[in-house]
Amino acid sequence: MRRRSRTARRIKKLLWRVHVPGWVDNHGVLLPTEGPGISAGIRKQIFFSEYEDKEIEIVSRRLASDDVVMEVGAGIGFLSAYCAKRIGSDRVFAYEANPALMEVIAATYRANGVAPSVRNALLAQGEGSREFHVEPEFWASSSVQASGAATTIRVPQADLNAELARVRPSFLIVDIEGGEVEFFEVANLASVRKICVETHPAIHSSAVLSRMLGRLIGQGFALDFTLMRKHVLFLSR
């Protein structure tokens, strides 16, 4: 029986009502179904292997063995764990601003036998600290305040270009809930050949996002029209 067949999904729907295990396989990566910020909605996405499904489709198709990956906005460690299993932990560097997720990321890495470099920091221009808005569902948390339900905290800020110069990534994965516009305004992308980025039109206007893409295209990146998955885009040069 194929894992993603109709029959498999019917069985999973029945299991969802009866028992949800503590860890579930998503594209070869074990993910926790419980923990800080893992809401009922996120738990359901993980259980049905729909969590970050657009990003994983793009990354799985475009990741190469010689890539060096920098993931900005690591969440619970899914994509960085996947990349580490594919190309080795020493080639994967992850950043997450929300301190509450660091233990979850560590647990994800342990469960999958990987150990990418991970840092609790928001990447922007200059060193210091920065306001960060933690939403009830962790994936919506951002340096850009999007709702009145967010709790504002201060988090460490690491210099974006210093980290880019140190890591020299070939593949950037950026999912920072509206922070992508500021990120690409200042990022020195000299080493980068591939970008997977989630855009957030609920936060930024089409004009603002078009200018961001225009800057990337001006630096030699081409938008891959075969891998446009709603608001998640892939560019390469």
Per-residue pLDDT tens over the stretch 99-131: 999 999 999 999 999 999 999 999 999 999 988
Q: Is 14 a residue whose pLDDT tops 80?
A: no
Per-residue pLDDT tens over the stretch 189-206: 999 999 999 999 988 999
Q: What is the pTM of this model?
A: 0.90
Cβ 52 vs Cβ 76: under 8 Å: no
Domains defined along the chain, listed by start: 51-236 (3.40.50.150)
Q: What is the pLDDT of residue 39?
A: 86
Distances 155 to 27, 98, 127, 149 between C-alpha atoms, Å: 31, 7, 11, 18
Cβ 108 vs Cβ 81: under 8 Å: yes
Q: What is the pLDDT of residue 2?
A: 52
Q: Is 3 a residue whose pLDDT tops 80?
A: no
Query: Nearest-CA neighbor of 211 among 169, 235, 182?
Result: 182
Q: Give 65's contacts (C-beta < 8 A, 6+ positions apart).
A: 86, 87
pLDDT band at 1 (very low <50, low <70, confident <90, very high): very low
Per the prediction, the chain carries an average pLDDT of 91
Work out the average pLDDT over 166-174: 98
Distances 47 to 15, 40, 53, 58 between C-alpha atoms, Å: 10, 10, 12, 20
Q: What is the pLDDT of residue 9?
A: 66
